């Protein structure tokens, strides 16, 4: 009865994308101290409410997987994880009414994903599921979706997606070896979006986030080296189209990290694929990398 009352109250706040910290804390405490029978009661109520919003379902399930501790609880909840993984994708697909809703939905998706990715005792994702996660995030950076967001919302969406990418590389690097295309398709969309960010705050925060993602690729250079070529060519194209000095400086850490993934073979490939004016523009960047970043990397 207690579970039913709490979940009913929580469901009332979900359509308004508002957090209820006191209620959430009480629910988490109940979950932590309940046995499998109690957990079964909570999940039965939740599943019976599948006609309600995906926000309510994913927020509640995220609280559950964040709270359970015992092996019995984990074994029971594991049977539901794949189902709620699919429901969480609806948060990215649904058309938001305003910037606040868009921001909240992507943030909730990110929290759900980063928790689930870290808890392999609940679910081990397949390559197909990893590819699906990346592919569902990529459209968030298409021009029509970006134009619907204000500056703060856009930064938040970028940060949320970057957190998921970071968790994927950290926890599922071996699986990504077999399906790198969706990951690098998403990284290309993030880079293209960042290169076309016009606000100073947005550019600074996104470029910093992106450099962190690029650095995560370095330990996996033997597998990912041929895939970073497209990212570097995207940067060179932006250079040839005109890049202000501030933007160029902000992107240096990212480009240095991407160049560090490359071997001499990939570097020669890039050189063969760009025209003379582009070579002229990129040469100082590459020399700077050789002088500073590559030296410190070897040290």
Sign of CA dihedral 110, 115, 116, 118: positive
The model carries a pTM of: 0.92
In which residue ranges of the chain is pLDDT below 50?
295-299
**Gap between the Cα atoms of 281 and 193, Å rounded:** 21
pLDDT confidence of residue 16: 52
Q: What is the pLDDT of residue 247?
A: 92
In this prediction, residue 14 carries a pLDDT of 60
Please give the pLDDT value at position 2: 80
Q: Give the pLDDT of residue 299.
A: 34
pLDDT per position as a tens digit, 62-81: 999 999 999 999 999 999 99
């Amino acid at each position: 009865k207690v579970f039913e009352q709490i979940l009913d109250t929580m469901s009332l706040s979900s359509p308004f994308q508002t957090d209820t910290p006191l209620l959430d804390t009480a629910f988490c405490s109940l979950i932590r101290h309940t046995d499998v029978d109690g957990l079964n009661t909570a999940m039965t109520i939740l599943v019976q409410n599948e006609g309600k919003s995906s926000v309510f379902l994913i927020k509640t399930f995220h609280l559950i997987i964040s709270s359970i501790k015992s092996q019995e609880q984990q074994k029971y909840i594991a049977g539901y994880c794949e189902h709620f993984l699919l429901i969480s994708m609806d948060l990215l697909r649904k058309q938001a009414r305003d910037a606040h809703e868009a921001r909240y939905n992507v943030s909730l998706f990110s929290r759900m994903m980063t928790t689930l990715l870290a808890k392999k005792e609940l679910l081990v994702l397949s390559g197909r599921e990893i590819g699906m996660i990346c592919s569902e995030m990529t459209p968030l950076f298409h021009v029509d979706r970006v134009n619907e967001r204000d500056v703060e919302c856009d930064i938040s969406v970028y940060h949320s997606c970057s957190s998921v990418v970071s968790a994927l590389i950290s926890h599922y690097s071996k699986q990504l070896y077999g399906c790198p295309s969706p990951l690098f398709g998403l990284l290309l969309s993030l880079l293209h979006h960042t290169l076309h960010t016009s606000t100073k705050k947005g550019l600074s925060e996104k470029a910093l986030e992106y450099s962190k993602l690029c650095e995560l690729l370095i330990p996996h250079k033997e597998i990912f080296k041929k895939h970073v070529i497209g990212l570097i060519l995207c940067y060179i194209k932006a250079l040839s189209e005109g890049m202000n000095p501030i933007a160029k400086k902000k992107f240096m850490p990212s480009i240095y990290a991407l160049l560090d993934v490359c071997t001499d073979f990939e570097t020669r490939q890039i050189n063969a694929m760009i025209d003379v004016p582009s070579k002229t523009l990129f040469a100082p960047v590459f020399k700077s990398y050789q002088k500073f970043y590559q030296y410190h990397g070897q040290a």
